[in-house]
Structure 1
């Protein structure tokens, strides 16, 4: 089994109407898509994560929301959306690819600093080639890396969102994980412009994600 990791960017800039609204907000960041699936009636369900001021994020969601139903879960500096929605024609075509070629996606799919969606496809070589040939023309796909897929190996870092990677790098550079510890949550927060509470929440999620992957 092989994997290919690359980034998706629609020519129009956004996958759904809410995407476009979030892209226009400089202090709001799309972090990750944790789940995406199409239901039997053609609608779709997704869970995605956005960081920034939770009140502003929820305000944007309510203003631009076209979901059939949704739930929100607030954290300190992040909001998780569980959404049941009508997919745009663009998202519909991507879901068609998933169903037609039956490849797996390594979740979460994360957003890069410049707004592209990073995805990892897991399939055999023939299927990967067919998927590449069938990507809609109005979506730009750029390959970043490829190789043999080994669950839980050196690709563990890819399980973290872009913001979590940023926090983890800063924590390591500041000496948070040295023995004895040389930095606090506040030190890491100062290095990347977040609050100490937000850094603490990110580090707890990071540690839970990595430990669940390492310890069977």
Structure 2
């Protein structure tokens, strides 16, 4: 089976209102779909679970006001983190996109990372012909970038959610001993190998660790 890592960029007509709200707000740091029914049965509400890092009160107010959600339940997991179960009322673009990536041999691998630049990043596994067909049938108003193509090796979806720079930062941190117990290397050591400032290296590591932890079932 092949795996494809994709980035979908929405325009003002196709972006989901909650994605747009979170992207345009300063109250959120991370927004990921971690589970979904992915049935592709057009016309029915879709059920999804999101992990969010940000202000739960601001998020819940917007969620209650949107006309695209029939039901939800928000559970706080920390001061600035929460999960939300959502029954989403799909529009035509949502139905077509969901059907595109669930047809035939295709399996969409969570998490789906909803980003502040109006993009969504995720991986799909399936037969090459089905993957090619899906890319050709993405609705208008959504720009598609193929980030990576390869053989599916059963790797953890959490790794697939990392950016290339975050994976490099974790790899170097492991090699120099940053994760040893006791720790035998510092952020400065990681930064030297990455050829960046210590603050930048620390940010890469923090975001990478957050992505991996959010993807685990604990």
Structure 2-normalised TM-score? 0.71
C-alpha RMSD of the superposition: 3.9
In terms of mean alpha carbon deviation, does 12-21 or 121-130 score higher?
12-21
Q: What is the aligned partner in structure 1 of residue 189 from structure 2?
A: none
The structure 1 residue matched to 2:147, chosen from 136, 144, 148, is: 144
Equivalence map 1:108-123=2 (5 Å): 108-112=111-115, 114-123=117-126
In terms of mean alpha carbon deviation, does 132-141 or 105-114 score higher?
105-114
The structure 2 residue matched to 1:59, chosen from 58, 61, 64, is: 61
Verify the 8 A CA contact 1:21 1:64 in the aligned structure 2.
no
> How far did residue 148 of structure 1 move?
0.5
1:2 equivalenced with 2:2 (yes/no) = yes
Q: Which runs of 5+ in 1 are unaligned?
A: 193-197
Distance in 1, matches of 2:82 and 2:54, equals 8
The structure 2 residue matched to 1:90, chosen from 88, 93, 98, is: 93
Distance in 1, matches of 2:61 and 2:119, equals 23
Q: What is the aligned partner in structure 2 of residue 157 from structure 1?
A: 159
> How far did residue 48 of structure 1 move?
1.5
Equivalence map 1:8-19=2 (5 Å): 8-12=8-12, 15-19=15-19
In terms of mean alpha carbon deviation, does 102-111 or 3-12 score higher?
102-111
Give deviations 1:29-82, integer Å, cap 9, x for gaps.
442111232475622111112211233222332333642211112122222111
In terms of mean alpha carbon deviation, does 87-96 or 13-22 score higher?
13-22
Name whichever structure is richer in helix by fraction: 1
Say how many residue pairs are matched.
197
Distance in 1, matches of 2:9 and 2:111, equals 17
Give deviations 1:158-202, integer Å, cap 9, x for gaps.
256x7xx69x85xx499752332377xxxx9xx54xxxxx99x94
The structure 1 residue matched to 2:135, chosen from 132, 135, 139, is: 132
1:205 equivalenced with 2:179 (yes/no) = no
Q: Which runs of 5+ in 2 are unaligned?
A: 187-198
Q: What is the aligned partner in structure 2 of residue 46 from structure 1?
A: 48
What SS does the aligned partner of 1:74 have? strand
Q: What is the aligned partner in structure 1 of residue 77 from structure 2?
A: 75
Distance in 2, matches of 1:70 and 1:108, equals 19
Structure 1-normalised TM-score? 0.72
